[in-house]
Structure 1
Amino acid sequence: MIRIVIIILTCLMLSGCVQQRILDQVQSVHSVAFDYVDDDSVKGTLTMPKFNPDKTVDISVFQKVSPSNESFRLSANSASPKAITSGQARVALFGQELAENGVVHTINTLYRDPSVGTRLYLAVTEGKAGKFLEKSYPLADSPSLYISDLIKQNINGDNLPRTDLHYFVNQYYDPFQDPFLPLLKLSEDKVNVVGLAIFDGYKYVGKINMHQAYVFKSMLHDSDSGKYPIKFGDYSRPNTAVVETLESKRKRKVKMTSGTPVFDITIKIRGKINENIKDINLKDPKTIKKVEKEMEDSVKKNGLNMLKVLQEKHVDPLGFGSDLKHQVRGIDSSEWRDELYSRAQFNIHVKVNIVQTGITE
């Protein structure tokens, strides 16, 4: 019995030593950025933690130009003293120029890499993506934590719809829907989410701002987050109220009328106003009704304008083609994209119910 215990303890000690040696021999990627060089090459930027003897952690930045159809991690390994692993990667960024030329090879290498999780956040950047990882941010220990937490917070508490590597790939391979990603902008020592980057296949073709992103999210899926500013009052003394969504539910129906798809979109929003507005009595039910009506009209107007732009760009990130496919037999993706989508009609019905108001002295 004693011999068995000794053998087990010895194995545990040896396995611990082996594991320590393995950890000492690898470098974990926490974030990656890709920028366009030419049609055959991309410049990759990696951030990796460097653990110091005094238990502090520095962020190492590694950059390399590699063929666009080659795994950047494998390419980077050829120039790194330690094996690079991607299992802890939180975010991947694509520079605007690369996104405009297409991210097909980059996405495929990420998706085929078994060490990369499908919940990896993706985003397009205004300007060079590598610049976002070269900076330090006062609100986080590393660029990867800062940017991934920023995207997560904007999904869970603001106007971004759900998105990650898994969603993007599924949208791309769905012939009736186009992908979208968060759009980021660098401003001194902080990053702002400024809207959604809309793709036609794997190419970035346009954007919508965060105001429109609220409407986009409300049309795409049910939600319990989002903020929408409303201007009301007379033009000489306009007021702005920010309505925070408590619950948003949507229903979409489609029918064919004389060969034209007609979509009915119903959005029901329960919300609250967290702060009082100067010279406006939010205790007055008539005032609340005015805010509700103004928001209903604004969401409808912004939604119709946004859909018109998407139709003009021949992109369908909201997946209306999928609705039609499930409702009408025999519709194929070519017919939807080449003929039906451009002449589709949309009716938007919005009902807003403000159930809470914040009153301050």
Structure 2
Amino acid sequence: MKEKLFLVVIVLVSIYLAGCTAKELKVPLEDVGMVGVMAFDYIDEDNLKLTVAIPQYSPEAKEHTQIFSVSTDLISKGIVDIESLSDKKVVLNQLRVVLINEEFARHGKVEKSIQHLYRNPEVGNKVLIAVVKGNGEEMLKGKYPDKPNINFYLNDLLQPSINTAFNPNTNIHDFIYAQTNPVFDAIVPILEKKESKIEVEGIALFKGKNMLHSLPKDEALIIQALQGRKKLAPMNLTLSNDSKGERLMMDLIDSKVKIKSNKNFDTPKLTITLHIEGTLVEFKGERENSLKTVESTAKLENDINEELEESISDFLKKLQEFEADPIGLTESFRMYYKGEWKEENKQEILSKLQWDIHVNTSIMSTGTLK
């Protein structure tokens, strides 16, 4: 009986102490700084500049956002230093965007920094990542008259949206998955500040820990199409095959891709079939006034097929030169491989890879084209 009573007392005391501890650690909301955006800028091999944007919700605040920057060798130490500047408890529960300075990315510093955030239980897996042309601190401190809050501005810009013409968004889970997967190489959108606005300029291609190259939007669209994205951004094409530089714009594009390998590791080959459907919204060239018959539309579809097949083939040759695979083409061989698939296997397949590309375009309508 005494033993049971003793256990009850111990439990009650533990609950009381736990309650007291939680009460003592509770921080008033007005004393909490919720980081919305974090930026990493390269200083040297041992140091980085850490910048954070903390929204201010008080109606008495003169600025919508507070920006703090510190030089540090450790991210956690930098957070502590920022706390001393802001006089608030800095938390990462509301972190939405991480900006990486291009120089920081090219020096192989991204993976370690993202892993630090990925292991932090305060940080969600859907935090978006972007590489910045220039300086991340300057981007956060920039003035955007029609966008009063940089936190919402960057978050909305990088979110997938049907209203966004081009958006290869990447979150920290996607990045870590690609970095630890021997089939894929990571890609991250590139942002550039242009006067009073920020634009998505293309994508950064990573190989291992380093940013390898920047790719333009048209090549990024090829990656998205071959990865199987069903809805593509508007496509701007210049037809070069006996068409005297005719130009066109297709919108509302639905796509479907099928990639099949020959399962041969000595002479690897892929058959890639891409189906796209879309609306022709603008056309400039000799056929501008003659696209009114089934035959003329079919001829244009065939010209688009040839142009896209050549563009995709040229891009795959470029990936071979880079020895990088952001699409996951080698997955079509890995699934038939017996044993552990390593980075060396991917490189070997890429170096010998051949392909047949077939594009089938269907122009569903000409929209407002006249």
TM bucket, shorter chain = 0.7 to 0.9
| Deviation, structure 1 residue 223 | 1.8
Q: Deviations over 1:287-340 (max 9, x none)?
A: 322332232222222211111111111111111222211123236224423422
Unaligned runs of 5+ in 2: 1-22
Aligned equivalents of 1:71 and 1:306: distance in 2? 43
Q: Deviations over 1:225-283 (max 9, x none)?
A: 31211234998964421111431111111124471221111111111123465843443
Aligned equivalents of 2:162 and 2:101: distance in 1? 21
User: Does the aligned pair in 2 maintain the 1:73–1:86 contact within 8 Å?
Assistant: no
User: Does the aligned pair in 1 maintain the 2:202–2:216 contact within 8 Å?
Assistant: yes
1:217 aligns with 2:224: yes
Aligned equivalents of 1:107 and 1:39: distance in 2? 17
User: Does the aligned pair in 1 maintain the 2:68–2:85 contact within 8 Å?
Assistant: no
Larger Rg: 2
SS at match of 1:110: helix
Instruction: Show the counterpart of 1:38.
Output: 44
Q: Deviations over 1:143-162 (max 9, x none)?
A: 22222222225687434345
Aligned equivalents of 2:317 and 2:243: distance in 1? 31
Between the two proteins, what is the percent identity of the paired residues? Answer: 27
Report how many residues are paired.
345
Q: Deviations over 1:17-72 (max 9, x none)?
A: 99996211101111111100111111011111123445876211110111146464
Instruction: Show the counterpart of 2:191.
Output: 184
SS at match of 2:135: coil
1:132 aligns with 2:139: yes
Q: Deviations over 1:57-93 (max 9, x none)?
A: 6211110111146464345334431011112222111
Instruction: Show the counterpart of 1:296.
Output: 305
Q: Give the stretch that moved more between structures: 229-238 or 309-318.
A: 229-238
Instruction: Show the counterpart of 2:19.
Output: none
- C-alpha spacing 1:150/1:351, structure 2 compared with 1 (3 Å): same
Instruction: Show the counterpart of 1:349.
Output: 358
SS at match of 1:51: coil
User: Does the aligned pair in 2 maintain the 1:46–1:62 contact within 8 Å?
Assistant: yes
User: Does the aligned pair in 2 maintain the 1:157–1:225 contact within 8 Å?
Assistant: no
Q: Give the stretch that moved more between structures: 155-164 or 249-258.
A: 155-164
Instruction: Show the counterpart of 1:100.
Output: 106
Aligned equivalents of 2:240 and 2:312: distance in 1? 22
Instruction: Show the counterpart of 2:324.
Output: 315
Superposition map of 1:1-361 within 5 A:
22-54=28-60, 58-68=64-74, 70=76, 72-102=78-108, 103-153=110-160, 157-232=164-239, 238-257=245-264, 259-275=266-282, 277=284, 279-330=288-339, 332-359=341-368
| Deviation, structure 1 residue 285 | 2.7
Letter in 2 for 1:100: R
Indicate the RMSD between aligned Cα atoms, in angstroms: 2.8
Aligned equivalents of 2:218 and 2:183: distance in 1? 25
Letter in 1 for 2:294: P
User: Does the aligned pair in 2 maintain the 1:51–1:57 contact within 8 Å?
Assistant: no
User: Does the aligned pair in 2 maintain the 1:160–1:213 contact within 8 Å?
Assistant: no
TM-score calculated relative to the size of structure 2: 0.84
Letter in 2 for 1:138: P
Aligned equivalents of 1:24 and 1:52: distance in 2? 8
Unaligned runs of 5+ in 1: 1-16
TM-score calculated relative to the size of structure 1: 0.86
Q: Give the stretch that moved more between structures: 118-127 or 237-246.
A: 237-246
Q: Give the stretch that moved more between structures: 71-80 or 22-31.
A: 71-80
Aligned equivalents of 1:174 and 1:78: distance in 2? 39
